[in-house]
Structure 1
Amino acid sequence: MQESKVTTKGQTTLPKDVRTALRIKSGDKLRYLLLDGEVRILRARPIRDLKGVLKRSGQAPVSLGAMEEAIAEGATNTSE
């Protein structure tokens, strides 16, 4: 288990093992999730890292226009 002190300004130094495990470099941004009294620290990723994350093999790309049409159709579809 790693420890670090918190300064009077609320700052702390992440231990080297933690920085290495999260691949954190100087200047990186972090995100903090509060979960039932605990904190989970995540390295913030640039939006460009999400490119292709929803890609499925054999599935053709869908245009923004097609997505908007599907949303509009679903919003007006009252067959339930």
Structure 2
Amino acid sequence: MKSTLKITSKGQVTLRKKMMDELGVQPGDKITVEVVEPGRAELKPAKLEGALDKFIGCLHEPRMRALSIDEMNTLIAKGWAGELDEPDDA
């Protein structure tokens, strides 16, 4: 797909809906622009900063044993039912 865009005095461009659909982005999302050679750039959806690979392991407490799936499910069910006590430091 090819589209001609006008650059504003602030250096901004507006992507047409069809272009946004092709990129899989929506208003408010971020995109990256990379110059691949002089006079040519590539546009891609930006990776989310909170990507899963950054999240994995962030909750690990070395002194605590890991919960089983059954224990996690029980805690989740109690949380949704409002049956969990609030932490003391909350």
2:8 corresponds to 1:4:
no
Counterparts of 2:22 and 2:31, CA distance in 1: 13
SS in 1 for 2:52: helix
Paired residue for 2:42? Answer: 40
Percent same amino acid at aligned positions? 27
SS in 2 for 1:20: helix
Structure number with larger C-alpha Rg = 2
Counterparts of 1:34 and 1:48, CA distance in 2: 27
Report the TM-score, using the length of structure 1 for normalisation.
0.55
Output one character per residue of 1:31-80: Cα deviation in whole Å (capped at 9) or x when no partner: 111111211011012222789xxxxxxxxxxxxxxxxxxxxxxxxxxxxx
Q: How many residues align?
A: 51
> What amino acid sits opposite 1:42 in the alignment?
K
What's the Cα RMSD here? 2.0
Instruction: Point out where structure 2 has 5 or more consecutive residues left out of the alignment.
Output: 56-90
Deviation, structure 1 residue 17? 1.7
SS in 2 for 1:21: helix
Report the TM-score, using the length of structure 2 for normalisation.
0.50
SS in 2 for 1:35: strand
Counterparts of 2:22 and 2:54, CA distance in 1: 21
